[in-house]
Structure 1
Amino acid sequence: MYKHMIQFLDRPDLYQKTEAAFWDDEHISGEMLKAHLAPDFEGASRKLEFIQRSAAWIGEIMPPAKYPRILDVGCGPGLYTERFAKMGYGTTGMDLSRRSVQYARDSAASQGLDITYYCQNYLAMELEETFDAAVMIYCDYGVLPDHERRTLLRNLYNHLRPGGKVLLDVFSMESYRRFEELQTWETCPKGGFWKKEGYIALTGKYRCTDHVTLEQITVIGERETKAYCLWNTYFTKEMLVREAGEAGFGVCGVLGDVAGSPCREDGPTIAILIEKQAG
C-alpha cells in the first residue's frame, strides 16, 4: 500500500503531464462546466462582471470594423465568444474540452449566433482560415512549459493576418510571492468535484522553481487512485515581452489585466497586446 501511494505523492518532474485527461472525464468536465458558468465564482472562468468589462475593452482596442475576425483560444463554454459575436465580430472558438465545446455550440444555436467552434488542441492548431485578432484569457499561457509556449505563439502567428493582434494574460511574480506552499486532505464520502463516488483528496501546493508552482491533487477512490498536476508559470513584464519578441511579434502594450487596467508591481496578473507586423 505504501509503495502504491508514494508513486502518486512524489513530486513529478517539472511540467510533467497529467496522465488522466480530466477536461474530458465525464464527471469532472461536468463540474468544470458548472464552475465556468457560475457568474460569481472565479474558478474555471473569471466573474461575469469582469468578463463583461473585458469584452467591452477588447472591442475598443480591436474594434470589429478594423479587426473583423477574432479567435478565442481556450474558449471554454463560450463566455467571451458569444459577446464577441454580438459585438459584430466573425467569431471562432477553440477548446480541448468536448463538453464545453458542445455546450458552446448548443448555446450559440439557441441564440441564433454564427460562431464556429473547434474541439482541438491549440498546440496542434491547423485551421484553414486566418484571423485579425486572437485572445487567450485567464492565464492559460502559463500552464505550458517553455517549448509549448513557443509552439503556441508560432501557431498564433501563422494564423494571423499581417497586422493581426493577440491579447493574452499571465500570473505575475506578485502572485508567485503570494503563493503558499501547503499540504491538505479532504474527505468526500458522497463524491465531489473530482469524482461522483466517495473519495479522499490529498492536495500539495509547491514552489518548484523561482517562477513555477505545482498544485498536485491525488484522488483516492474505492477502486482506483489518480493524480492531477496543475502547473503555473509566473512572469515579469520583461520575460513576457522577450518571449513575444522571440516569436516574431511586436509589442503594442503591457497592461495589468485583459480589461485594460494599468500594469502595477503589486498586481496579480500581467496582460500583453502583441502584433504580427505587416511586411
Structure 2
Amino acid sequence: MINKLFEYTKKPEVYAPSSGKFWDDKHISKEMLKAHLHPTMEAASRSHDFIHKSVEWIQTVAPSETKGRVLDLGCGPGIYAEKLCYKGYSVTGIDFSKRSIEYAKEQANKQGYNIEYIYKNYLDIDYDSIYDLVLLIYCDYGVLSHNDRAILLQKTYSAMKVGGQFILDVFTPKNYERKQESSNWYLHHGSGFWKPETHLCLQAHYIYEDNIRLDQYVIIDQESKVDVIRVWDRCYTKEMIIDELGRVGFKNIKIYSDVSGKKYDEESKTICVVAEK
C-alpha cells in the first residue's frame, strides 16, 4: 500500500486519466447534484443569480425567435435548459452524469417543459446542421485534452446550422496567477464529498507547459481502496481561443469577460466567446 501511495504522489503525465468515471459514482454524483442545485455555491454550477443574468444576455445575442434550437453540452441537472425553455427555446441537453440527467428529466416532467435530455458523452454527438445555438458553459472546454477538444470543436461545428452560434467560456491565466504547485493531505471523519464514510485525501496541484493545470485527489477509504481523481484545465488568452476556434472554421468571434456579456477585461479570470459558423 505504501509503495502504491508513493506512486500516486508522483506528478502524472499530462492528461493522465482518473481511475474511474467519478461523475457517475453513486456517492460523488449525489454530492455533485447537491452542488449544482445550491443557489449560491460556485462549484458544479455558477450561482443561480448569475445563471439568470446569463440567460437574459444569451437571449440578446441569440434571440429565441431566430436562434431557437439549442444544444446544451454538459447540461447537468438542466438549470440553463429550463430557463432557456421558459424563454421559448427548443432545448436538447446532453450530460454524462446519469444522476443529473435523471433529475433533469424528472423536473422537466413536473413542470411541463418539453426538453430533450440525453445521457451521453458529448464527445460522441453526431448531428448535422441541426442547431442554431450550442452552449458549453462553466469552462468545461478547458478540462479536455488537446485531441478531445479538436473532436468536440469539429462535432460542434457540424451540429450547427450556417449562421449558428457557439457560446463557451474558459479560464484565463489570471485564474491561477497566485497558485503554485503544492501537495497536502487531510483525514475526513464521516461522510464528505468524495466518500460516504471516513477517508483520507491526498491532494495536489500541478503545473504543466502550454497553460495546463491539474488538481489531483487520491482518495483512500477505510478498506484501503484507492481512487484517483484528476481534474485537468487548460487556461486561455484571448488570442489562443480565437486561433483555436478559427482553425475549425468559426468566424465573427466576439470576446467577453463572462457569460453575462460583461465587457472584456484583460484582468478577467474567464473569457466568454461567441463564435459563428
Match of 2:131 in 1: 131
Q: Judge which range, 143-152 or 77-86, deviates more.
A: 143-152
How many angstroms does 1:202 deviate by?
A: 1.0
Question: How is 1:238-253 mapped onto 2 (pairs within 5 angstroms)?
Answer: 238-253=239-254
Q: Distance in 2 between matches of 1:33 and 1:250?
A: 35
Q: Judge which range, 255-264 or 182-191, deviates more.
A: 182-191
Match of 1:228 in 2: 229
Tell me if structure 2 keeps the 8 A contact 1:201–1:220.
yes
- 1:165-210 alpha-carbon deviations (Å, 9 max, x no partner): 0000000121132334322212112121101121011110121225
Match of 2:258 in 1: 257
Q: Distance in 2 between matches of 1:93 and 1:179?
A: 34
Q: CA RMSD in A?
A: 1.2
Tell me if structure 2 keeps the 8 A contact 1:252–1:273.
yes
Q: Judge which range, 175-184 or 21-30, deviates more.
A: 175-184
Match for 2:14: what amino acid?
L
> In the superposition, relative to structure 1, how do residues 233 and 267 fare at CA in structure 2: closer, same or farther (>3 Å)?
same
Q: Distance in 1 between matches of 2:256 and 2:54?
A: 12
How many angstroms does 1:129 deviate by?
A: 7.3
Tell me if structure 2 keeps the 8 A contact 1:8–1:226.
no
Tell me if structure 2 keeps the 8 A contact 1:24–1:97.
yes
TM-score by length of 1: 0.96
Identity %: 39
Match for 1:209: what amino acid?
E
Match of 1:10 in 2: 10
How many angstroms does 1:33 deviate by?
A: 0.2
Gaps of 5+ in 2: none
Match for 2:122: what amino acid?
Y
Match of 1:88 in 2: 88
Q: Distance in 2 between matches of 1:58 and 1:98?
A: 27
2:209 is the counterpart of 1:209: yes
How many angstroms does 1:127 deviate by?
A: 4.2
What secondary structure is seen at the aligned counterpart in 2 of 1:33? helix
- 1:32-62 alpha-carbon deviations (Å, 9 max, x no partner): 0000000110000001111000011001110
Match for 1:270: what amino acid?
I
What secondary structure is seen at the aligned counterpart in 2 of 1:261? coil
Gaps of 5+ in 1: none
Tell me if structure 1 keeps the 8 A contact 2:127–2:158.
no
Q: Distance in 1 between matches of 2:128 and 2:151?
A: 18
TM-score by length of 2: 0.97
Q: Distance in 2 between matches of 1:232 and 1:251?
A: 26
Question: How is 1:156-171 mapped onto 2 (pairs within 5 angstroms)?
Answer: 156-171=156-171
What secondary structure is seen at the aligned counterpart in 2 of 1:80? helix
Q: Distance in 1 between matches of 2:135 and 2:100?
A: 17
Q: Distance in 2 between matches of 1:250 and 1:160?
A: 13
The count of aligned residue pairs is: 276
What secondary structure is seen at the aligned counterpart in 2 of 1:207? strand
Tell me if structure 1 keeps the 8 A contact 2:242–2:253.
no
- 1:51-94 alpha-carbon deviations (Å, 9 max, x no partner): 00001100111000010101110000001000000000011100
